[in-house]
Amino acid sequence: MTEQTELKEATDTKIVKMIVFAIGVQEYCIPILSVREIRGFEKTTTLPFAPPYVCGAINLRGIILTVVDLAVYLNVPPQTDNPRRVVVIVESKNGVVCGLLVDRVIDMADINLNDVQAVSEDGSCLGGLVLVDNRMIGLLRLETVVGQLVTDTISE
């Protein structure tokens, strides 16, 4: 919710450039401004007590960050044999950097926030749905994902 209002504030026209990617058969998008880079999926270092959706840690030019398997996170069957899987490196508003493992990056889209249909659940990672070229695309709430990554309690 906050993210959306902030997004609205960020632009007068309420049009936000988003990067669209696929997880399984679903499509999701995040603001392009939060993306730092996109890189191939490489071996990660397993982290103790990590939640199942955390693949592990990687080294991004001296910074250590974790990679989130969005398929697991979103409860979508992952395509492990898909060679087009890439890691989208994102930075949250409070400066936390992490990687999002997605099945493939599709394209960029200008999304009018007025067109976004809210989904009822508050605090969910899904900020809403929007129709682009007859494709239903989910708005991923980056801050929710990152927030969980940083603060989730260890489930021993």
Partner 1 sequence: MDDILQIFFQECDEQLQELERGLSALSDGESEHETVNAVFRAVHSIKGGAASFGLDNLVRFAHVFENSLDGLRSGRFAPTHDVVKVFLKAMDVLSDLVNEARGGATVDSARVAESHAELADISGTGSNQNASQAATTEDVIPADFSPVPMDFEPVPADFEPVPFDFDFGEEEAPPAAASLLVTFRPHDALYERGDDARNILIGLADLARECDGEILTTCDRSALPPLADLLPDKSYLSWQVVLPPAVSEDNANAVFDWISEDCDFSIVREGAEAAAPQEPTIEQPEPAEVVAVIPPVEDHEAPPPAPTPSVAHPVQILSPLPAPATPDAHPGPSPAGSAASSTANGAAQTAARKPEQASIRVDLHRIDDLMDLVGELVIAQAAIESLSRRTDAAGQHELVQSISSMQSLTRDIQDAVMAVRAQPVRAVFQRMQRVVREASSMTHKDIVLTLEGEDTEVDRTLVEKLTDPLTHMLRNAVDHGIESPEARIAAGKPAEGHIVLSAEHRSGRILITIKDDGAGINRQRVFETAVKRGVIPADAVLSDDEVNNLIFMPGFSTAAQVSNLSGRGVGMDVVKQAIQSLGSRITISSIPGKGTTFGFSLPLTLAILDGMLISASGSTMVIPISSVIETMIVNQSDVYALPDGSNVISIRGDCMPLIPLATVLKLSNSPPPDSLDASVILVVENESGARAALIVDEIRDQTQVVIKSIESNYRQIFGVSAATILGDGSVSLILDVSALVASAIGHIDIKPSNIRAELAA
Which of these ranges, 60-68, 105-113, 126-134, 135-143, lies near partner 1 under the rule CB under 8 A?
60-68
- Contact with partner 1 (CB under 8 A) among 2, 5, 11, 45: 45
Q: Which two tokens stand for residue 27?
A: 């499509």
Nearer to partner 1, 34 or 44 (CB): 44
Q: Does 37 bind partner 1 (CB under 8 A)?
A: no
Question: From the CB of 87, what's the least distance to partner 1, in Å?
Answer: 14
- Contact with partner 1 (CB under 8 A) among 1, 10, 118, 150: 150
Sign of CA dihedral 110, 112, 116, 121: positive
Q: Does 97 bind partner 1 (CB under 8 A)?
A: yes
Asked if residues 90 and 30 have their Cβ atoms less than 8 Å apart, the reply is yes
Beta strands 135-140 and 126-132: pairing type? Answer: antiparallel
Q: Does 101 bind partner 1 (CB under 8 A)?
A: no
- Contact with partner 1 (CB under 8 A) among 1, 47, 118, 136: 47
- Contact with partner 1 (CB under 8 A) among 1, 64, 131, 136: 64
- Contact with partner 1 (CB under 8 A) among 75, 80, 120, 151: 151
